[in-house]
Every structure is written in C-alpha cells, then in structure tokens.
Amino acid sequence: AHLARGIGPSPPRPPPPTGRLRVHAEMDSNIVVVRLAPGFDDSMLYSMVKETPDLHGMVLSLYGTGNGPASKRSFIDLIKVAIDRGICVVISSQCLRGSVSLATYEVGRMLIELGVVAAGDMTTEAVVTKLGYLVGRGRKGEALNQAMATDLRGELTPEGYESSSPL
C-alpha cells in the first residue's frame, strides 16, 4: 500500500550524475546568517555590512513567509546598502515547514524590488552551502541571484510544486 502525502504532481528530480564525484573545495565562507527577532536593533547589521569588506553573503532568517519589520525604514535601507556593496542577500524563513513567499506582504515586495533572493523551502544550511559553493565558483551579481533561485541538486522545490520536506 502507498499513502500519498500531498495532492498534485511531485517535483521533478535532478538528473542523475553523469560522471565521477567531484569535490569542490573552493567554498566561500564570508557569509553571515542572522536570525531576526521582533524589535531587533539593525545598527549592528549596518555596521557589519559597512565595516566587513569581504562579506559576500547575508542570509536573513525572517518571520513566517519571509516577512520583515513593516515599520523600520532603516531595515530596508540596510538591505539596499548591502546589495549596493555586492552582498548577496538571501531571505529564509524561521518556520520549520513552508516556503518563503516575499510577495505576500508589502515589506517582502519592497525586498524583491531591491534584489534579494527568496530561499523558497531551502533550509538555512542548504542556503549557506549553496551560496558558499556558488560564490566560491566565481558567481556574482545577477548570475549568483539566478543560480540561488534555481534548483541545482534537489535542494529547492520548484515553484508550482508542493514541498515534500518532512520538516
């Protein structure tokens, strides 16, 4: 017997490997992960963005579907400064299940306009690993953002499919 977990088609699986395993050791570790809590002081984040010249990635773990503080214009300004400095900003969720959907709330829509990347249903660990791998391989700017939003090895459920993650 087989129990179906969800309704609808399963997401396509990545193609099987075509060659030998290659270990990519050129991982960039200049990435920071910040879990935001209501009422946070963004001045420390601002200092980190302004004073860390080799910072290449910032993963912000926001509330619910990727919602941030609606009343803090300084937070949006901080994200703009980070992106202008070439830092890839990825928004992930603090929720154990579900996916980042930035278009749901006004703050998320502003973040989309600035050029942040939505992590979808990737775990924080998957986001950091993928970002470190891509930056280590020389990806920057829009090419990096597009690669982060693309399922490379089954780490990200494509849009239009229900996540099969047990979490």
**pTM of the full predicted structure?**
0.84
Handedness of CA 124, 86, 50, 133 (dihedral sign): positive
pLDDT at 121: 92
Mean pLDDT by 10 residues, the chain (167 residues): 54 78 89 90 90 95 81 88 96 86 87 94 94 96 95 82 53
DSSP 103-148: GGSHHHHHHHHHT-EE-TT--HHHHHHHHHHHHHTT--HHHHHHHH
